[in-house]
């Protein structure tokens, strides 16, 4: 009976480690004994899946969206079993990037991918994924034998974040041995061919599937949606992501990506007519998809051209049926392009909804005015510059692998009571730029202490 | 069950009124904390609860229920709770042909006219057992949430009919209570939803409306709760009572305070 209990038991048993210990002045990463959940029959020990981590708040299993900055804004990442809906920007320039980051993250972590599109062949989408940024040490590890557990990292004793040495090693499922959560990608380079070929992916290209004669169950959805649902359900069952297949024991995540859902290419007319005949098709699809996701180890990203939907009621319903909703608004063609306030940015990013899963509250970011910027190689999300107050830049030095996990986790500890915006923010002057800095992701925090050089900070504490 | 909300509503699990329809409504915020409150309230009151959960999975309610002091798995095992998990049932209905009528049968049909199978399910779940001993005090029907039925292709009139049938059975015949949640779409011009909301507002005895603050997001005050008592059956000589409070949701409880009296401000 692992199907319905998967999410619940996964949440309960992995979550005991990081429950609300922060209230008792104990570090929130203290490991407690596993709560004996009555329905936990998923084996003797729950193995950590690569690329996932339990949420700090309620132990919910999270996967990265591919953009560490977005993960931070969403409360740590995308919860397994939920849908991330991206409302496309007007000319569909930036939303495919987020889509690709999500898929690239899946390949780097060794997750199974399911790519569905009505416009582009999924094989072509995979060819255009951005290359992950791995530094030299990680490249060496990547070339080594996968089963060699003696990685150089394990020999080096951690000085500051020594508790992490007590955590078990992540089981190596994918070819890439970096066990980090959230990677950086170089948007100007393509993902290496060997990584794509080593990954397990399934493609759903609507023009091909619509002509084949799959047995279609009677349903009032448009044929495209029905076929897609059946395809997804088939993969989930065949590969054992919902635990109901007795032959397949799957301990991996299925990442589903659906592009341009709701556009006329899917056979849906909500973008063309206000009160079309299929006005319930999309919402029914989302509901059944939600049912499939909640009972399996999968996470889904959907991009939807909501700016084209004529009926606002449908947008409201779609928002209710999705878990996380992120809206992109690019400045191209609008009057904001010439506004001096926005001259550094390419658009605004709105976090419209964050779910409250297994909890009464959710991790909302206090910063609501967020803008994004696509630099030559990276996609950054920043809080909008307020008048007269300059915001602090915190540059994460990505490729310094030893430093980074400690820094990132420490940052998380520092930010757990989401530091309130104080007016005493300042510009970090000299960050000790290294050549790798331009490749890292910039993200804003309003902090109450100075940052000069990440190395110095570690030394100081 | 939030003790502060019980105080505001002037009820306790021991002496709750019977035969009432409570409408939960949320506008621009998430009102699901009210559903968790009533679920744990009626389970603690030793009522037989039929929960039609259309929007979240069983484990979600179970985990929050544990924080509020009720165990949904145990309640289900001993027969106190009948749980219809909409998401799981929808997957079963859509992908496998069902032999017997399923409560969510309308998902398979192109033009489903009514919610009769769902009503049959509710009636079957809450009908009193003739074994003689009265284990449970009175039946309660909880629906979370009704707006999803509109998204799944039912018309507002069909949903109102369903509520009417349930009210006749649960509230009048079996002297139980009903609690339903409806989203208020606000300015999204959702006509069907407005019809449903207005129709239910006129039928209900108690309306709890969770609204987001008009001024936007605040870390210390999560929203505003409007409580409205009505007497739909009797001609109202007195004006309906209405109170407004602001609230902040914490990990295991919700604290209520008068407008502007948030502890963070004082």
pLDDT tier at A124, thresholds 50, 70, 90: very high
Q: What is the pLDDT of residue A28?
A: 54
Is residue A31 a contact partner of residue A70, using CB atoms and an 8 Å limit? no
Ordered by start, the domain boundaries in chain B are 20-128+135-211
Q: What is the pLDDT of residue B61?
A: 94
Q: Mapping DSSP to helix (H, G, I), strand (E, B) and coil, where does residue A297 land? A: coil
Is A287 within 8 Å of B151 when comparing Cβ atoms? Answer: yes
Please compute the mean of the pLDDT values over residues B86-107 and round it to a whole number.
Answer: 87
DSSP string, B103-157: TTGGGT-TT----HHHHHHHHHHHSPPTTS---SS-EEEEEE-THHHHHTT--HH
Angle between the A281-294 and B86-95 helix axes, to the nearest 10 degrees?
110
Distances (CA, A) of B115 to A260, B107, B112: 32, 11, 8
Contacts of A290 in chain B (CB under 8 A): 87
Task: Sort B41 into a burial class: Cβ within 10 Å, 0-12 / 13-18 / 19+.
Answer: buried
Task: Sort A64 into a burial class: Cβ within 10 Å, 0-12 / 13-18 / 19+.
Answer: buried
Homologous superfamily (CATH) for B20-128+135-211: P-loop containing nucleotide triphosphate hydrolases (3.40.50.300)
What's the rounded Cα separation, in Å, for the pair A32 and A17? 5
Is residue B246 a contact partner of residue B224, using CB atoms and an 8 Å limit? yes
Contacts of A315 in chain B (CB under 8 A): 188
Is B30 within 8 Å of A356 when comparing Cβ atoms? Answer: yes
- Determine how β-strand A83-87 pairs with β-strand A298-304: parallel
Q: Is the four-CA dihedral B154, B160, B165, B170 of positive or negative sign? A: positive
Give the residue from A84, A107, A81 showing the smallest Cα distance to A95: A84
Cα dihedral A351, A353, A354, A360 in deg (nearest 10): 140
pLDDT tier at A418, thresholds 50, 70, 90: very low
Chain segment B143-166, per-residue pLDDT in tens = 998 999 999 988 899 999 999 999
Give the residue from A330, A268, A261 showing the smallest Cα distance to A302: A261
Q: What is the pLDDT of residue A38?
A: 33
What's the rounded Cα separation, in Å, for the pair A72 and A415? 10
Give the residue from A358, A254, A256 showing the smallest Cα distance to A11: A358
CB distance from B249 to chain A under 8 Å? yes
Chain B: give the shortest CA distance to residue A283, in Å. 6
Q: What is the pLDDT of residue A210?
A: 80
Chain segment A187-213, per-residue pLDDT in tens = 888 989 999 999 999 999 998 888 765
Of B33, B95, B189, the CB nearest to A312: B189
Q: Mapping DSSP to helix (H, G, I), strand (E, B) and coil, where does residue A350 land? A: strand
User: What are the phi and psi torsion angles at A325 (to 5°)?
Assistant: -125, 125
User: What are the phi and psi torsion angles at B97 (to 5°)?
Assistant: -70, 135
Q: Is the pLDDT of residue B76 over 90?
A: yes
What's the rounded Cα separation, in Å, for the pair B233 and A107? 62
Q: Chain-wide mean pLDDT for chain A?
A: 71
User: Who's near B74: CB < 8 A, 6+ residues apart?
Assistant: none
Q: Is the pLDDT of residue A330 over 60?
A: yes
Tell me which range, A193-202, A235-244, A418-427, is most confidently predicted by mean pLDDT.
A193-202
Q: Is the pLDDT of residue A4 over 80?
A: no
Contacts of A287 in chain B (CB under 8 A): 87, 90, 148, 151-152
What's the rounded Cα separation, in Å, for the pair A283 and A309? 13
Contacts of B33 in chain A (CB under 8 A): 360
- Determine how β-strand B48-53 pairs with β-strand B139-144: parallel
Question: b vs e for A353-383, b when ≥16 Cβ sit within 10 Å of the residue's Cβ?
Answer: bbbbbbbbbbbbbebeebbbebeebbbbbbb
Sheet holding B242-249, edge to edge: B81-85, B48-53, B139-144, B177-184, B21-27, B206-211, B223-229, B242-249, B254-257
* Per-residue tokens: A400: 């310094």
User: Who's near B224: CB < 8 A, 6+ residues apart?
Assistant: B210, B211, B212, B213, B244, B245, B246, B247, B259
What's the rounded Cα separation, in Å, for the pair B214 and A431? 41
* Per-residue tokens: A111: 């997750």
Chain B: give the shortest CA distance to residue A327, in Å. 17
Beta strands in B39-79 (DSSP E): 48-53
Of B73, B90, B188, the CB nearest to A288: B90
User: Who's near A215: CB < 8 A, 6+ residues apart?
Assistant: none
What's the rounded Cα separation, in Å, for the pair A328 and A98? 10
Of A11, A284, A321, the CB nearest to B107: A284
CB atoms within 10 A of CB B173: 15
Chain segment A5-43, per-residue pLDDT in tens = 444 444 444 444 333 333 444 555 544 433 333 333 333
Chain B: give the shortest CA distance to residue A459, in Å. 34
In total, the C-beta contacts within 8 angstroms joining chain A to chain B are: 127
Q: Chain-wide mean pLDDT for chain B?
A: 89
Of A294, A313, A368, the CB nearest to B57: A294
Which DSSP symbol is given to B169?
Answer: I
CB atoms within 10 A of CB A397: 20
Chain A's closest residue to B191, CA to CA, is A313
């Amino acid at each position: 009976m692992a199907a319905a209990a998967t999410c619940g038991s996964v949440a309960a048993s992995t979550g005991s480690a990081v429950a609300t210990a922060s209230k008792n002045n104990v570090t929130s990463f203290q490991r407690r004994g596993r709560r004996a959940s009555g329905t936990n029959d998923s084996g003797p020990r729950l193995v950590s899946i690569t690329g996932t981590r339990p949420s700090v708040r309620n132990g919910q299993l999270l996967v990265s969206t591919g953009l560490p900055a977005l993960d931070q804004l969403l409360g740590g990442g995308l919860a397994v079993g939920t849908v991330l809906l991206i409302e496309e920007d007007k000319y569909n320039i930036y939303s495919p990037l987020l889509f690709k980051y999500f898929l690239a993250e899946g390949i780097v972590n060794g997750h199974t991918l399911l790519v569905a599109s009505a416009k582009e062949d999924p094989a072509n989408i995979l060819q255009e994924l951005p290359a992950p940024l791995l530094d030299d040490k990680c490249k060496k590890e990547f070339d080594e034998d996968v089963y060699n557990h003696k990685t150089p990292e394990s020999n080096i004793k951690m000085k500051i974040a020594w508790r992490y040495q007590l955590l078990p090693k992540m089981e190596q499922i994918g070819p890439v041995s970096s066990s980090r959560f959230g990677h950086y990608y170089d948007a100007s380079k393509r993902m290496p061919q060997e990584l794509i070929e080593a990954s397990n992916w399934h493609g759903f290209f609507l023009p091909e599937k619509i002509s084949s004669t799959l047995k279609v169950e009677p349903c009032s959805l448009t044929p495209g949606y029905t076929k897609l649902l059946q395809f997804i359900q088939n993969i989930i069952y065949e590969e054992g992501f919902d635990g109901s297949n007795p032959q397949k024991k799957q301990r991996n995540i299925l990442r589903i990506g659906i592009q341009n859902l709701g556009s006329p290419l899917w056979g849906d007319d909500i973008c063309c007519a206000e009160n079309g005949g299929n006005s319930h098709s999309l919402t029914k699809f989302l509901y059944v998809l939600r049912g499939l996701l909640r009972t399996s180890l999968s996470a889904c990203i959907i991009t939807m051209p909501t700016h084209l939907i004529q009926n606002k009621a449908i947008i409201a319903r779609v928002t209710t049926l999705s878990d996380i909703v992120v809206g992109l608004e690019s400045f191209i063609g609008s009057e904001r392009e010439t506004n001096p306030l926005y001259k550094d940015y390419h658009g605004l990013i709105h976090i419209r909804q964050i779910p409250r899963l297994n909890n009464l509250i959710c991790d909302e970011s206090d910063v609501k005015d967020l803008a994004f910027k696509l630099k030559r190689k990276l996609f950054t999300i920043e809080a909008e510059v307020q008048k007269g107050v300059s915001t602090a830049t915190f540059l994460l030095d990505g490729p310094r692998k030893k430093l980074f996990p400690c820094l990132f986790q420490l940052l998380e500890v520092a930010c757990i009571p989401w530091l309130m915006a104080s007016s005493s923010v300042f510009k970090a002057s000299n960050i000790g730029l290294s050549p790798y800095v331009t490749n890292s992701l910039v993200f804003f925090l309003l902090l109450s202490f100075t940052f000069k050089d990440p190395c110095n900070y570690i030394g100081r504490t | 069950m939030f003790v502060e909300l019980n105080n505001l509503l002037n009820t306790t699990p021991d002496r709750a009124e019977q035969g009432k329809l409570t409408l939960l409504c949320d506008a621009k915020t998430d009102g699901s904390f009210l559903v968790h409150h009533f679920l744990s309230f009626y389970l603690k009151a030793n009522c037989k609860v039929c929960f039609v959960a259309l929007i979240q999975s069983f484990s979600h309610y179970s985990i929050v229920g544990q924080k509020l002091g009720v165990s949904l798995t145990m309640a289900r095992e001993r027969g106190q709770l009948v749980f219809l998990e909409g998401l799981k049932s929808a997957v079963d209905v859509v992908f496998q042909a069902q032999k017997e009528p399923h409560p969510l049968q309308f998902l398979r049909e192109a033009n489903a006219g009514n919610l009769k199978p769902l009503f049959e399910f509710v009636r079957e779940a809450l009908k009193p057992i003739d074994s003689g001993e009265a284990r449970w005090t009175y039946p309660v029907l909880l629906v979370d949430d009704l707006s999803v039925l509109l998204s799944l292709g039912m018309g507002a009139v069909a949903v109102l009919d369903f509520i009417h049938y349930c009210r006749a059975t649960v509230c009048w015949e079996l002297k139980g209570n009903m609690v339903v949640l409806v989203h208020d779409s606000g300015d999204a011009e959702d006509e069907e939803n407005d019809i449903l909301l207005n129709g239910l507002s006129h039928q209900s005895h108690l309306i709890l409306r969770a609204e987001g603050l008009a001024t936007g997001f605040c870390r210390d005050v999560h929203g505003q709760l409007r409580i409205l008592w009505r007497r739909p059956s009797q001609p109202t000589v007195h004006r309906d009572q209405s109170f407004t409070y602001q609230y902040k949701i914490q990990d295991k409880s919700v604290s209520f305070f008068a407008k502007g009296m948030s502890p963070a401000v004082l």
